[in-house]
Structure formats: structure tokens, C-alpha cells
Amino acid sequence: MPADVLVIGLGYVGLPLAREAVRAGYNVTGYDTRAEITAALNSGCSHVDDVPDGQVAQMRAAGFRATHDEASIGQPDVIVICVPTPLSPADGPDLTAVRAATETAGSLLTQGTLVSLESTTYPGTTDEVVRPLLEKVSGLTAGIGFSLAFSPERIDPGNPYFGIRNTPKVVGGVTPGCAEAAAAFYGRICASVVLAKSAREAEMAKLLENTYRHVNIALVNEMAIFCRELDVDLWDAIRCAATKPFGFQAFYPGPGVGGHCIPIDPNYLSYKVRTLGYPFRFVELAQEINGRMPGYVTERAADLLNRHAQPVNGARVLLLGVTYKRDIADQRESPARPIARKLRRRGADVRYHDPHVEQWQVDGQDIGRADDLAPALAAADLVILLQPHSCYGDADFSAARLVLDTRGFLPAAANRETL
Ligand SMILES: NC(=O)c1ccc[n+]([C@@H]2O[C@H](COP(=O)([O-])OP(=O)(O)OC[C@H]3O[C@@H](n4cnc5c(N)ncnc54)[C@H](O)[C@@H]3O)[C@@H](O)[C@H]2O)c1
């Protein structure tokens, strides 16, 4: 049974995985190129919402250590790669971090090591990019000298019900033996392991999940726009449709998609499909529709102000919730930023309120933070609710002049309308 685990990349995916591996009894080291992250973790401070400081202390007490020094890693039995897979300037895959982490892993391989890639990427990456690099650096052969698998991270940050342990873990090996080794490793961490036919199917499973969300969110976003013109309350229509006990899953309109997954991962798939000479039309359409939502929200804001005889220019606009997701601090790709940018360009005086964000910048400029919600609501000409953080559930919005609720979160009232 392998005992020494190395997690490469200690971010939103790597750190919770390291915690679960520690809890499962593995001896875990975390490697990250950012020295400030490893130093903070070694002093008990977490930078990831889902792993509070107290849990880092527990990990440390159980032997976890973080390092940014490759030379101090030792010889792990299992290496899990959890590094970012962003988009290149041309919106294609940027595998720079995956390649660098693979080189690190390759230099640490010994007979029998298991390497698992968790970073989201296009089908074929494990076999065509990671495998040859590992073989070149280590001199060993996948499936004989070492095991190699892909296992997508399915983490849902901030979800209080599903985490790594109780979410089935999909595992695909580059050979059946590799899959078996990976399943044995994850089987100690997760309640259930689902074997894919190979690494390619495991890679595709993750992209299918995210593309499915992306496309369905785009569907309701497009419907939100025309339902308003048809005088149909889409939120109510979704509520009714969602009572069907089979064949329907509710998705809701919003100000646009954010985070590291939904706006980015489907691009990895459409890039791969384009190499075949044709586009992945569903994804490209979803990108177009979801990408237009910040502009649509801005237009709706302008329209609402206009109906109350006020121009956007000079209007005091308060944005509520600027993170990409409810009740977490992650701001990556949040649609709040393009919305603030568009409003500011039209002359609005934009401020924000968000209990999870101490400071917020748009285009390098600080946006004023409202510390207290009640006076900020009363002072604004227009309040735009972008993220339904729990704290807004109990708030009294009656003093707000105008409210645009982009999430269908607030009860109906005379001073507000939904997207
Ligand atoms: N955040 C999510 O909710 C989520 C969910 C599922 C899958 N994913 C995928 O998981 C992967 C990681 O995402 P994340 O959100 O954890 O990213 P992140 O940016 O939070 O963390 C990645 C960490 O890797 C480190 N790193 C970069 N290059 C490195 C290298 N060569 N060696 C060591 N460390 C290195 C970075 O310093 C950073 O701390 C991505 O492919 C992402 O698409 C993310």
C-alpha cells in the first residue's frame, strides 16, 4: 500500500485533496512553486475557502508539510498533479504548468510510482503530453515502470454536502494496470471509484460535465432575454418545470458564468474539436450567449434607471456579491468585473459590497467598498444583486430605491425586478 503522497499544486483542488489524503492516513507532502503559499501553509494559514486554518493545523499535526523546494521532496509513491490549466492568449489550452509539473514528477519517478493528473484538460493530454514527458525524464515506461492515470477533480467549492470523499471519483488509466493502481490509491480517500475505459474517457467525462452546465446555463440565459419581451416570468416557468420528477434539471439565468471551470474548460474541448476541421457548435454558441450577459445586465441597469428618469452617468450603483460563486471568496472570471467596467465607462459611480472580498479592483483601479450593507442600500440609486451570498437572505432591502436582482433571489417587491 503506497504511503508517501506528493500533491503538486496547492490551490483550490490540490489543498482539499491533500487534506483528504492526510485524513485517509497517507503521509502527504505538498509542492507549490509559490513560496508564499507553502510558507503560509507551514505556519497554519490557508488561502483556500474550503480548507480553514484549523484544518491546516490538523494536517500539519498529522505530518503534512508544504514545500517550494523540489530538492526537499524525497521519493513519493504517488504523485498527484493539480496545477492550473488556463487559456492561452489565443483562447486555446495553456499546458505550461502541466508540462512543468510533469517534469517535476518525472524527475521523482522510481519503479512503481503512480502519477495521477487531476488538472482539467482536453482528451488525449495524459497519453499524448504527460506520458511521453514522464517517460523521457524518468527513463521508465508507463504501465511497466510506473503507473499513469487521469482522475478529474469534481470539487464544488463552498458545497456543504458534497466534497472529495462522498463524490464518486472517476479514474482512467493509460493501461488497465495503471487504472487499478489509481483506483487503489483513490479508494482509500473516496467512498466510491468509477473506472473509465481509459484516461481519454476520464478526461472527456470532466469536460462533458462542465460543457453540460455551460450549455444549459446559456439556454436559460437566452430564454431570460426573450421571456422578458414576451412578458413571461422565466423564474416561475423554471419553478414549475422543476416539479417534473424525471427528465428535467433546473438551471437558472444569471449575470454570466465565472470561475476556473465553466468559462474555460469547454474551450479546451472546442480547441480539440477544431483540430478535426470543424467547430463544436454547442460550446461556441454557449460561450457567445454567456459572454454577452454582463452587457445585457448593464443594459437592463441603464433601462431601469432610465425608467426612473435617471441617466447611468452619475448614478450611484451598488454591486452586491462580486465573487464568481455564492458564499466563497474566489473572484476568478467573475462577471462582476466586466459589469463594473461597463457601468463605469458609462459614467456610473460604482461601489460594491461583499463580505468575502476585502479589496476589489477593476482595470487596476480600486472600487469603493461598502462595509455596512444597510446604509449602502439606502445611499445607492441602483442596487444590482450579482451573487446571492447567504448574508443577503436576511437583509432588509426596503430602503433601496431600485434593485436589479440577477439571480431571482429576493422576494418580489415594488422597488425591484429580476433579470
Ligand atoms: N477550482 C475548482 O473549482 C476546480 C474544480 C475542478 C477542476 N479544477 C481544475 O483543477 C486544476 C487546478 O485548479 P485550481 O483551481 O486548484 O488552481 P489554483 O490556481 O487554485 O492552484 C494551482 C496551484 O498550482 C501551483 N502551480 C502552478 N504551476 C506549478 C508547478 N509547475 N509546480 C507546482 N505548483 C504549481 C500554483 O502556484 C497554484 O497554487 C485546473 O486544471 C482546474 O481547471 C478546478
pLDDT (tens digit per residue) in 199-219: 999 999 999 999 999 999 999
Does the annotation count 261 as an active-site position?
A: yes
Does 2 score more than 60 pLDDT? no
Round the average pLDDT of the chain to a whole number and report it.
95
121 alpha carbon to ligand 1 midpoint, in Å?
A: 12
Do the strands 403-405 and 382-385 form a parallel or antiparallel pair, or are they unpaired?
A: parallel
pLDDT on residue 155: 84
The closest residue, in CA terms, to atom 33 on ligand 1 is 32
Nearest CA to ligand 1 atom 10: 119
Q: How far is CA 196 from CA 179, 203, 322, in A?
A: 8, 9, 37
Rounded to whole angstroms, the Cα distance separating 288 from 404 reads: 23
Residue 281: the pLDDT is: 95
* Catalytic residue (one of 82, 178, 190, 261): 261
Distance from Cα 164 to the centre of ligand 1, integer Å: 16
Instruction: Determine contact, residues 374/307, Cβ cutoff 8 Å.
Output: no
pTM of the model: 0.92
CA 362 to chain centre: 20
Listed in order, strand segments (DSSP E) in 275-381 are 316-320, 349-353, 361-362, 365-366, 368-369
CB 224 within 8 A of CB 214: no
State in Å: Cα 97 to ligand 1 middle: 9
Is residue 316 predicted with pLDDT exceeding 60? yes
Q: Are the C-beta atoms of 290 and 304 separated by less than 8 Å?
A: no
Pocket test for ligand 1, best of 10, 260, 269, 331 (most atoms within 8 A of CB): 260
Cα gap 366→351, rounded to integer Å: 10
Other C-beta atoms within 10 Å of 303: how many? 12
102 backbone dihedrals φ, ψ, rounded to 5°: -65, -40
Residue 234 CA to residue 25 CA, distance in Å, equals: 49
Pocket flag, ligand 1, residue 244 (CB < 6 Å): no
Structure confidence by residue, pLDDT tens digits, 8-38: 999 999 999 999 999 999 999 999 999 999 9
Cα–chain center distance at 242: 25
Q: Is the pLDDT of residue 138 over 60?
A: yes
9 Cβ below 6 A of ligand 1: yes
Buried b (16+ CB within 10 A) or exposed e, 213-237: bbbebbebbbbbbebbeeeeebbee
Report pLDDT for 284: 92
Look at residue 157 in the predicted model and tell me its pLDDT. 82
pLDDT in tens, 61-114: 999 999 999 999 999 999 999 999 998 988 889 999 999 999 999 999 999 999
How far is residue 52 CA from its own chain's centroid? 18
Cα–ligand 1 centroid distance for 81 (angstroms): 9
Query: What span, in angstroms and rounded, lies between the C-alpha atoms of 381 and 354?
Result: 18
